[in-house]
Structure 1
Amino acid sequence: MTKSPLRSIFAPGSTRWAVRRAQWKALGLSDEDFEKPKIAIVNTSSELSSCFSHLDGITPVIKEAIRKAGGVPFEIRTAAPSDFITAAGKGARYILPSRDLVANDIEVAVEGALLDGMICLASCDKTAPGQLMAAARINIPSLFVICGYQGHGVYKDHEVDIEEVFESVGKLASGGMSLEDLTGMCDVSVSGPGVCSGMGTANSMHMVCEALGMCLPGNAPVRANSQSMFEYARRAGERIVGMVHEDLKPRDIMTPAAFENAVALMLAASTSINCVRHLQAIADEAGLADVDLYEIVNRLGKEVPLLVAIRPNGTDRVEALEAGGGARGLLKRLQPLLHTEAHTATGGTLKDDLEAYSLPTGSIIRPLDAPLSRQAALVVMRGSLAPLGALLKLGTGSANKLHFKGPARVFHTQDDAITALGDGRLQEGDVAVLRYLGPKGGPGLAYASWFVAALEGSPLSEKVAVVTDGQLSGLNRGIACGQIAPEAAEGGPLALIENGDTIEIDVGQRSITLLVEEAELARRREELKPWVPNSERGWLSIYQRLAKPIYKGSTLTPE
């Protein structure tokens, strides 16, 4: 095999050769090391969250494997956002912008140093998308290690996980649960490191990463700190050196065909709706202007059935999905519908990866001819309230039965909506409208997800609908239309809604409509006061000024 030249090797005697040699000799590198591939290990370790608490134990395995394969590892650190921890400040406005901060952290460290390749430790919700964005942007050989999901616990003889804690706030607010029981559940729901154990955004993006071809086959999902996780980490350390020599880059792997494969997996597993936004952002960073995730979701939704239902979509746990084949098992079932000519990090094609694989006996992943449901698990909604689109996750629900029509109840923060849920101001048949929470209005996509979770845990579950331009969680369910576009801060129809206006959600027609006369809406537009940005400084201010609309991925790349 002809080895590709290494961009990390500089001309002897040049300034950058001299200063680099001085720095790296002080770190203990040998003369031979300077001729080897230099590999970044992107680590988001943090003591703030159990999502990341185990990552420092994974890097030594990868470093040793890289050295044995003939490379030189350099561990670098980035921001480490955790939805359940970092969301505490400013109404969770830091969460989505942290994704782009991770991407920029990586660019500065890896591209600034002109390293030859990188391995990314994928963990919580925003790290994997941010890492994939960076890989697509700087386009050097890159490989992902899925760092796994957390274990759950038992409270009063009942299995409990973070998803149940998330929704139990609504039960507490409505009097259906005591604070003592909620506290007890909190204390046992997470029994180890790793990401949320349901089909939230983290596990969803880990599986999407495999469908894109950016991690080794079979790596997602995986139990954190398991023998399997460490074995994949070791193999990744070996493989990345080969990828550098082969000059196999992310844009060779993340092609339009790969994005369609990823959407097919999303639909088959009813993953988080946030994957759509993140995939659009990754495609944007890869320069794939023709990849329109809304169009792909609409088109493939007619073809791809639901093959598995992991909590909160159904009763099966992620452990059963891993045992049943995980992302690779889903791709095997979906093989007739996939672009199997797409290349993967193995150096071969998806067809090569799948042909030698058989699903385990008793896998919970259903075959194509006997699915759980033939309805699309995720739909794009449009109409007078969302002319540029909105997303609704159906999961195991039936699109033919979902029709909701009711009066609007308008809120500008999720805290106000949660208070209204608790004090009875929200009634059966209402449509809760949470607005001015989008990328610009938030700024940074403020949370609506805690309210949706509380609603799901209350007696009004499925009896109150939600429309919002704010952030939903991959664990959210119910009648929740997210990513309403244009957002209210951009003057979208969401900004014109008044309490009592009738909103109609018709999933069969894929429509979301504000039933107000056009003349009245025109009057409201004339009277609508110009939106004034929050008086933010720092990172949120930068994000607010630069972020693209939500349906374009909310990236900071120029239009």
Structure 2
Amino acid sequence: MTLNKYSRIYTQDDSLPASQAMLIGSGLSEEELRKPFVGICSTGFEGNTCNMHLNGLADQVKAGVQAQGLVGLRFNTIGVSDGITNGTAGMRYSLVSREIIADSIEAMAGAHNYDALACVMGCDKNMPGALMAMARLNRPSLMVYGGTITGGTFKGQQLNIVSCFEAYGQKLRGQLSDEEYRGIIRNACPGPGACGGMYTANTMAAAIETLGLSLPFSSSAPAVSQEKQQECRSVGAYLRRLLERDLKPRDILVREAFENALVVTTVLGGSTNAVLHLIAIAHAAGVPLTLADFQAVSNRTPVLADLKPSGKYLMEDLSGMGGVPAVLKTLLNLGLLYGDLPTVTGQTLAENLADVLPLGASQDLLRPLSNPLKADGHIQILYGNLAPKGAVAKISGKEGLRFEGPALVFNSEQELNESITQGQLQPGQVVVIRYVGPKGGPGMPEMLKPTAAIMGAGLGDKVALITDGRFSGGTHGFVVGHVCPEAYEGGPIALVENGDWITLDASTNTMEVQVDAALLELRRQQWQRPRPGVPHGVLLKYIRTVSDASRGCITDYQEEDHVPARATPARANLA
């Protein structure tokens, strides 16, 4: 089999001497021009704990690739830190960066005809962006997760990044001194790695390992562990096997694999951002995935893992118990996963887990089916006159299933943050943040700063929050996001006024504003779309191209793109 079927276009064509000259000039020998080229993409950059170590991991990947007789060619793409940008205008670029990452990896690997691809990713938009590019290119590929951070401590308190956001609310209440507040900030992030709870990065890493596009243990091996170093050095051998078997992302990203990923996201109590990202990855792979699929999985799947933000454990704790493979083996034994699906190891999911022990009864991180944290899924899709096209609620079970109260409306996150600072929120209110959707934000920023401040201020179980924006994986409380259509598009959330009575019910999957339809129509006639919040640049391009949240906020959506679900590939692909 020809392993260099793409790179040979440049390296073996006598009519392209300039191409070969530039490759030789970059340091390759004529012998190396006959070998397969592997693009090694890193989102490493210095100013963020999630990404600061990724270039070093990419170097390890390259060494392993070279050892397998392949040519590793490093390149970088961008990363945007959610933890740094949350609560500022910079957060508008976060979800946009997913599209930039996908587009740039596709452009680089497509233009330079790499035969295979390894992506070393660290933060939450990095990973789905990489998988979107892999699915579009459909060449042998795998992803390496940069790994989770080690938790910090201060005065005996276990810390993670969300501790900082919630400390701000505690400070406003006078519960923390300035010294204690600064102590939490100084100690929350003690080194490299992605945010430690079952926030979006760890959620997506676990989902991607379940999908089969990363190696076993990739999602739970800590960033600074020897296991992470060993994983990186082993990538070359797996990529060579993928090339020899011509096993590609679309062979792996089948409908049943996405169902597995939805089950694991639910069992682990993962981030609502997984809804946007998994829909977007499925779209790139040509697999239909909708909000209804998330609800169907939530209807039959319990929450079993006691992980932060609403639980007590971090990913590093799970790593010490056997990691995500131990969870997968437990779920496989329970009949909750499809096992006969291909993965980047060249083996099926079940074969990968053959020697893995399930989580036993001596631990309490993963509950048994007979004693779940929540009998059904925490991701609930709500519909009603406030969200005709759906909204995504994160209901852990601790905040109850129903909330109703008068609306308190804000047209920006900044307005709400100022109101929290001034102590204006009252128990029983339904806080509405609008014009922060994909187009209205623009960029659908996360609402972690206000939700964490609400928790820190002691109002987490006393107010609800709905928004056409989205939430961090670190958000908890009675929160409903992704309200669709968004306010900027004239969705009903744009018509809500202070004092309107709102009812949210996760048991009936409804969200309603108790306002007469005729009055809502009158308000609609008087409504005017605000001017775009940006005059030019990538955010304006995003406004003009992004789909709504129910379709994953992708920028290449066309109605005719809907295709029938593809069947699981034949076992011959694994031979």
Q: How does 1:57-456 map to 2 (within 5 A)?
A: 57-87=56-86, 90=89, 92-288=91-287, 290-292=288-290, 294-335=291-332, 336-359=335-358, 362-363=362-363, 364-397=365-398, 401-456=400-455
Deviation at 1:16, TM superposition (A): 6.5
Cα distance in 1, alignment partners of residues 250 and 396 from structure 2? 31
**Which has the higher mean CA deviation after the structures are superposed, 35-44 or 233-242?**
233-242
Deviation at 1:86, TM superposition (A): 4.1
Deviation at 1:5, TM superposition (A): 5.2
- 1:441-485 CA deviation, whole Å, 9 max, x = no partner? 111113322111111111211101000011310000000101011
**Which has the higher mean CA deviation after the structures are superposed, 415-424 or 9-18?**
9-18
Kindly, what percent of the aligned residue pairs are identical?
A: 35
1:223 counterpart letter in structure 2 = P
**Which has the higher mean CA deviation after the structures are superposed, 228-237 or 478-487?**
228-237
Cα distance in 2, alignment partners of residues 12 and 307 from structure 1? 52
1:312 counterpart letter in structure 2 = P
With the length of structure 2 as denominator, give the TM-score of the two structures. Answer: 0.93
Residues 186/89 of structure 1: CA separation in 2 closer, same or farther (3 Å cut): same
SS at match of 2:353: helix
Residues 17/241 of structure 1: CA separation in 2 closer, same or farther (3 Å cut): farther
- 1:374-417 CA deviation, whole Å, 9 max, x = no partner? 1322111111111111111122537xx42111011111121211
Deviation at 1:101, TM superposition (A): 0.6
> What residue in structure 1 maps to residue 568 of structure 2?
none
- 1:23-44 CA deviation, whole Å, 9 max, x = no partner? 1111221222111110011111
Cα distance in 2, alignment partners of residues 548 and 475 from structure 1? 25
Contact persistence 2:327–2:358 (CA under 8 A): no
Residues 16/427 of structure 1: CA separation in 2 closer, same or farther (3 Å cut): farther
Cα distance in 2, alignment partners of residues 186 and 229 from structure 1? 27
- 1:421-448 CA deviation, whole Å, 9 max, x = no partner? 2323210000110000001111111332
1:558 counterpart letter in structure 2 = Y
Cα distance in 1, alignment partners of residues 283 and 447 from structure 2? 25
Contact persistence 2:167–2:456 (CA under 8 A): yes
Cα distance in 2, alignment partners of residues 260 and 426 from structure 1? 40
SS at match of 1:49: coil
CA-based RMSD of the aligned residues comes to 1.7
1:291 counterpart letter in structure 2 = L
Deviation at 1:154, TM superposition (A): 1.9
Deviation at 1:174, TM superposition (A): 2.8
**Which has the higher mean CA deviation after the structures are superposed, 438-447 or 511-520?**
438-447
Cα distance in 1, alignment partners of residues 21 and 386 from structure 2? 61
Cα distance in 2, alignment partners of residues 16 and 110 from structure 1? 21
Residues 15/516 of structure 1: CA separation in 2 closer, same or farther (3 Å cut): farther
1:442 counterpart letter in structure 2 = G
Cα distance in 2, alignment partners of residues 424 and 67 from structure 1? 59
Q: How does 1:485-524 map to 2 (within 5 A)?
A: 485-524=484-523
Deviation at 1:108, TM superposition (A): 1.5
1:211 counterpart letter in structure 2 = T
Deviation at 1:324, TM superposition (A): 2.0
**Which has the higher mean CA deviation after the structures are superposed, 152-161 or 520-529?**
152-161
Contact persistence 2:86–2:449 (CA under 8 A): no
SS at match of 2:175: coil
Residues 437/175 of structure 1: CA separation in 2 closer, same or farther (3 Å cut): same
Residues 45/12 of structure 1: CA separation in 2 closer, same or farther (3 Å cut): closer
Deviation at 1:79, TM superposition (A): 0.6
With the length of structure 1 as denominator, give the TM-score of the two structures. Answer: 0.96
SS at match of 1:108: helix
Q: How does 1:9-24 map to 2 (within 5 A)?
A: 9-10=8-9, 14=13, 17-24=16-23
Deviation at 1:543, TM superposition (A): 0.7
Cα distance in 2, alignment partners of residues 393 and 547 from structure 1? 24
Deviation at 1:346, TM superposition (A): 1.2
Contact persistence 2:11–2:19 (CA under 8 A): no
Contact persistence 2:197–2:313 (CA under 8 A): no
Deviation at 1:371, TM superposition (A): 3.1
Residues 148/535 of structure 1: CA separation in 2 closer, same or farther (3 Å cut): closer
Cα distance in 2, alignment partners of residues 489 and 443 from structure 1? 9
Deviation at 1:487, TM superposition (A): 0.5
Cα distance in 2, alignment partners of residues 543 and 259 from structure 1? 27
Contact persistence 1:324–1:365 (CA under 8 A): no
> What residue in structure 2 maps to residue 50 of structure 1?
49
Residues 555/16 of structure 1: CA separation in 2 closer, same or farther (3 Å cut): farther
Residues 471/373 of structure 1: CA separation in 2 closer, same or farther (3 Å cut): closer
Contact persistence 2:331–2:337 (CA under 8 A): yes
> What residue in structure 1 maps to residue 562 of structure 2?
none
Cα distance in 2, alignment partners of residues 548 and 220 from structure 1? 29
Residues 55/189 of structure 1: CA separation in 2 closer, same or farther (3 Å cut): same
SS at match of 1:134: helix
Residues 12/373 of structure 1: CA separation in 2 closer, same or farther (3 Å cut): closer
Q: How does 1:459-470 map to 2 (within 5 A)?
A: 459-470=458-469
SS at match of 2:299: coil
2:325 counterpart letter in structure 1 = R
> What residue in structure 2 maps to residue 554 of structure 1?
553
1:326 counterpart letter in structure 2 = G
Cα distance in 1, alignment partners of residues 381 and 469 from structure 2? 16
- 1:59-118 CA deviation, whole Å, 9 max, x = no partner? 222111111111000000001111122447525111110111111111111111010111
**Which has the higher mean CA deviation after the structures are superposed, 8-17 or 421-430?**
8-17
Deviation at 1:15, TM superposition (A): 6.8
SS at match of 2:30: coil
1:238 counterpart letter in structure 2 = A
Cα distance in 2, alignment partners of residues 237 and 115 from structure 1? 14
Residues 12/190 of structure 1: CA separation in 2 closer, same or farther (3 Å cut): closer
Cα distance in 2, alignment partners of residues 367 and 424 from structure 1? 42
Contact persistence 1:313–1:396 (CA under 8 A): no
Contact persistence 2:11–2:20 (CA under 8 A): no
SS at match of 1:94: helix
SS at match of 2:286: coil
Between Structure 1 and Structure 2, how many residues are aligned? 554
Deviation at 1:171, TM superposition (A): 1.4
Cα distance in 2, alignment partners of residues 352 and 14 from structure 1? 41
**Which has the higher mean CA deviation after the structures are superposed, 82-91 or 254-263?**
82-91
2:374 counterpart letter in structure 1 = S
1:440 counterpart letter in structure 2 = K
Cα distance in 1, alignment partners of residues 10 and 488 from structure 2? 52
SS at match of 1:98: helix
Deviation at 1:138, TM superposition (A): 1.3
Contact persistence 1:391–1:483 (CA under 8 A): yes
Residues 16/103 of structure 1: CA separation in 2 closer, same or farther (3 Å cut): farther
Gap regions ≥5 residues in structure 1: none
